[in-house]
Copies of this chain bind each other. A is one copy, B any other.
């Protein structure tokens, strides 16, 4: 069995070849990988069943088991994801900007592959395919370290994908799965900053903390989704209810779902219809004293509610006296992923989007749009809440680096 250093060295060598592959070769490989997922579905589902059985024996929650489970349909969906990546334009080699200096030097900033990307993730085996496909199209080798719950599924997926890719002309070590679940391997890997260029953790806070704590490699992370909708005093009632309810309920288990609704005091009159709209979708409504005074049967909020990412059909509502109070609340509790204001007032909208510092700031739209595909960027590997540029959905472009290429004719510096 290769050590993690050997795996990383192989990935590094593969990355040299990957960086200069033609777009056609990469796209052919993505299609071959997609086809293989479907033609070898029997093998994959057998291995997946082993993980499901182990999960049932360990009493994993129904939600966890659901995230773990593969099926013909889900494999077809994952395969289509790879085909979608093939259809995206190749970011490698794109000229970002270029200019000519007074001394005649032509300077071009061009997009280049990152090199080697490590993914450390939990549970969902589809990440194995998504990450492998996006990294390859972005010209990088990837090292995948999935969770123990999905060990059989990840192993067979990585094997099927890697074989298909190699058959289509991709270097053999472009996609590698770390073959052991030992924890020390991850901390060891996180020291290899001379071989690995970026690490992306995907999972719970504990996993992300562990990676941040131990990594000498730059980390791009998506931390939490503590998301707010602010209903301004100049909001349209109907849009306010629609945006708030959609932000909360369209898929409550996702990071871009709203957890707290802030309502301007002059809009307290609409709280009953807001609560009714939420309850229509089976949301448990919690509220501060003024919300409780406006509607019956509202669970009183505690301080803890304002920083709790429910990821469930629960929402907290707070009444604020001014937009300043709303901005203060957001600065204190937001995780910087997404916030939305509902308003018909030009000044309120402008002030909100200038003052709120989140990866996505909405005016009169649901926070649920915070997603690479919804933005029109194509597939994504996560949404970064780091402030390092670029923030937001991590699509193909965001998985690249850049370099300057400078064309001279014997230019020397005087």
Is B354 touching A20 in the complex (CB atoms < 8 A)? yes
Q: Which of B198, B406, B410 contacts A236 (CB 8 A)?
A: B410
Q: Are B115 and A412 closer than 8 Å at their CB atoms?
A: no
A234 at the interface (CB under 8 A from B): no
Q: In the complex the two chains form, what is the Cα distance from A400 to B390 in whole Å? A: 9
Q: Which residues of B contact A366 (CB under 8 A)?
A: 408, 411-413
Does A333 sit within 8 A of B, measured CB to CB?
no
Residues from chain B with a CB closer than 8 A to the CB of A243 are: 410-412
Number of copies: 2
Give the contacts of A363-414 with B (CB-CB under 8 A): 363-366, 368-369, 374-376, 386-392, 398, 400-413
A168 at the interface (CB under 8 A from B): no
Write the chain B residue with the least CB distance to A209.
B216
Which one of A36-44, A104-112, A145-153 is at the B interface?
A104-112
Minimum distance in angstroms from A256 CB to a CB of chain B: 9
A331 interfacial contact with B, CB 8 Å: yes
Q: Is the Cβ of B20 less than 8 Å from the Cβ of A355?
A: yes
Contact residue among B193, B398, B404 (Cβ-Cβ distance under 8 Å from A361): B404
When chains A and B are docked, how far (Å) is the Cα of A388 from the Cα of B140? 13
Instruction: Please tell me if the beta carbons of B107 and A246 are within 8 angstroms of each other in the complex.
Output: no
A99-B376 contact in complex given A114-B387, A400-B389, A401-B389, C-beta closer than 8 Å: yes
| A123 part of interface (Cβ distance < 8 Å) | no
The closest CB in chain B to the CB of A250 belongs to: B413
SS class, residues of chain A in contact with chain B: mixed
Is A101 part of the binding interface, using a Cβ–Cβ cutoff of 8 Å? Answer: yes
| Contact-residue size bin, chain A (C-beta under 8 Å from the other chain) | 35 or more
Q: Are B375 and A246 in contact (CB under 8 A)?
A: no
Q: Which residues of chain B are within 8 angstroms of A410 by Cβ–Cβ distance?
A: 236, 238-239, 242-243, 342, 364-365
In whole Å, how far is A252's beta carbon from the nearest beta carbon of chain B?
Answer: 13
**A216 and chain B: residue at smallest CB distance:** B212
Assembled-state Cα–Cα distance A20/B412 (Å): 42
Query: Is A359 an interface position by the 8 A CB rule?
Result: yes
- If A361-B404, A408-B364 touch, whether A107 touches B375 (CB-CB below 8 Å) is yes
Report the minimal beta-carbon distance from A175 to chain B, rounded to whole angstroms: 19
User: Contact flags (1/0) for A333-358 with B, using CB distance below 8 Å?
Assistant: 00000000010000000000111011
Whose C-beta in chain B lies nearest to the C-beta of A392?
Answer: B404
> Residues 84-113 of chain A: 1 if any B CB is under 8 Å from the residue's CB, otherwise 0?
000000000000000101000101010011
In the complex, what's the smallest C-beta–C-beta distance from A346 to chain B, in angstroms?
11
Q: Which 6 A-B pairs have the closest CB atoms?
A: A365-B408, A239-B410, A246-B412, A365-B411, A197-B387, A368-B413
| 16 A-B residue pairings within 8 Å (CB atoms) | A198-B387, A213-B216, A236-B410, A243-B411, A243-B412, A360-B403, A361-B406, A364-B407, A366-B413, A369-B411, A369-B413, A374-B413, A389-B389, A389-B400, A391-B403, A392-B404
